[in-house]
Every structure is written in structure tokens, then in C-alpha cells.
Amino acid sequence: MVFSGLMLASSVCVADTIPEIVSHAKKSILEIVNIGSDGSLKAFGSGFFISSDGLAITNIHVINGASRIVGLSMAGATYVLERVYFVCPHADLAVLKFSVLGVPYLKLGYSPAAVEGQHVLVIGNPEGLSGTVSDGRRFAAVAVPCPGTFSDS
């Protein structure tokens, strides 16, 4: 999961080094756990809160086929899924709604302002490897149409 520009709760976070960015951002990062109908763990993945009221972003491939989805914070909190709020299969994107209020969150960056060669930082929990941090450079931009599906219930 890639993001740029971060906000924690309602205050702008200024961080100059990778360790500072990670320290602030990891409060908003989730491990998404996909549990099958037989109670077995089907998949692990990354996600992050984008609002203080429990909206979080992850990838569709992480939640596909789940009977139950749980969010785990790096601090050890467990969040119960209220519903899948939005999906966009073309972009492998899902927005989840967890039953929680007042969580730290990350503000999404403005993608058209990003340029090739720009430094990026990726923080997450791929395949259950909690707290993974990678950095690199953005090398291409691809616009993905997102005729997604909203859930109001």
C-alpha cells in the first residue's frame, strides 16, 4: 500500500526521516486478516485507516472469499469489520468500515502531483510480516478507471 502526505488524527505530521515517518504512520496501519468459513486463516495483508471513524483501505485480493475480516493494529488493538464499504476490482481496491471511533488515520495524497522519480515509502504487513518498511522511487503512473460499487447498508 502506497500513500503520500500523512495526517494523524487531525494534526499534520511533519517528519523528515524514514524512522520518523514510520513512527507516526504505523499508528494508522492495520494487518487485515481474512478468515474462512471453517475458521481458518485464508490470507493476511496490509491496510490503513483513512478516517477517524474507521474507514480503511486494503486490496480486494486480501479480503476475497472471507467469511470474516478482522483488523489488527501494530499496537495490538483488534477491530471488528462493520461492512465492506466500497470495492473497485479494476484497481484491486477495497474500502472497509470498522466499528471504531477516534483512530489515528492517514490522509491520502494527491496523485496527479506525484512525479516519476519521486521517493516513496511503503509500510505494511504483506503476508503477515508485520511492520514491513520499504523505500524506493516512483517510476511510472497509470490511471486505473474505478467503476466501483458502494455499500450503503
The pLDDT tens digits for 65-111 are 999 999 999 889 999 999 999 999 888 999 999 999 999 999 887 77
Per-residue pLDDT, 80: 94
State the pTM of this model.
0.80
Q: Which residue has the higher pLDDT, 136 or 110?
A: 136
> Of the CATH numbers 2.40.10.120, 2.60.34.10, 1.10.490.10, 3.40.50.2000, which one belongs to the domain with range 7-150?
2.40.10.120
Angle among Cα 58, 98, 121 to the nearest 5 degrees reads: 35
Q: Which residue has the higher pLDDT, 124 or 20?
A: 20
Return the half-sphere exposure (C-beta side, CA atoms, 13 A cut-off) of residue 54.
Answer: 18
Query: Please, what is the average pLDDT of the chain?
Result: 81
